[in-house]
């Protein structure tokens, strides 16, 4: 006769805690990207001055990097909001969010996996749930 001690995967509360932690981590990453975008934009010359970057090719490169960082920050904020709710159609919502900013949904996978690895909690069940959520989303978005 086997006894069931109630051990299994993370429960609904653990998944909710993981979703909240993942959402917070994605918001922090979005803030970092937004700061990077603002810093890069500050390096661009204005219409009346040569500024620190006078070469047009360098200015274009800096403007492109600032734009990419801002777009990814916007996508991460959208993803953070969706993940916090943990809806049943989460992969589809993330794909639509990526389409709105013109990026592929696979762009979210590294950020979500990094967020799962960097959870600021000692709650083991939430960490496991975050890793499971990240793995499920990674599989759904990368393909």
For 45-84, how does the pLDDT look when each residue is reduced to its tens digit (9 = 90+)? Answer: 777 765 555 677 888 899 999 999 999 999 999 999 999 9
Percent of the chain surpassing pLDDT 90: 74
Are the C-beta atoms of residues 42 and 63 closer than 8 Å to each other?
Answer: no
The model's confidence at residue 112, banded by pLDDT at 50, 70 and 90, is very high
Percent of the chain surpassing pLDDT 70: 90
The Cβ of residue 20 has, within 10 Å, a number of other Cβ atoms equal to 17
DSSP character string of 20-57: HHHHHHHHHHHHHHHHHHHHHHHHS--TT---S---HH
Are the C-beta atoms of residues 108 and 81 closer than 8 Å to each other?
Answer: no
pLDDT at 104: 94
Alpha-carbon gap, residue 127 to 118, rounded angstroms: 9
Alpha-carbon gap, residue 131 to 55, rounded angstroms: 45
Give the residue extent of every domain in the chain.
12-142
The model's confidence at residue 122, banded by pLDDT at 50, 70 and 90, is confident
Q: What residues have CB less than 8 Å from 86, skipping those under 6 apart?
A: 15, 16, 19, 133
Alpha-carbon gap, residue 111 to 58, rounded angstroms: 27
Are the C-beta atoms of residues 87 and 118 closer than 8 Å to each other?
Answer: no
Alpha-carbon gap, residue 14 to 22, rounded angstroms: 12
Average pLDDT over residues 30-51: 86
Angle at 14 between CA 9 and CA 17, to 5 degrees: 155
């Amino acid at each position: 006769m086997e006894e069931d001690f109630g051990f299994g995967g993370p429960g609904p509360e653990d998944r909710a805690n993981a979703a909240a932690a993942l959402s917070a981590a994605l918001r922090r990453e979005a803030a970092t990207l937004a700061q990077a975008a603002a810093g890069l934009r500050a390096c661009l010359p204005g219409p009346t001055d040569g500024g620190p970057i006078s070469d047009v090719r360098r200015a274009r490169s800096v403007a492109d990097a600032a734009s990419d960082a801002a777009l990814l920050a916007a996508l991460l904020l959208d993803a953070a909001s969706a993940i916090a709710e943990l809806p049943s159609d989460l992969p589809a919502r993330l794909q639509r969010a990526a389409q709105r900013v013109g990026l592929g949904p696979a762009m979210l996978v590294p950020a979500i996996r990094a967020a799962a690895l960097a959870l600021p909690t000692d709650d083991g069940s939430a960490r496991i749930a975050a890793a499971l959520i990240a793995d499920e989303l990674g599989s759904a978005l990368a393909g």
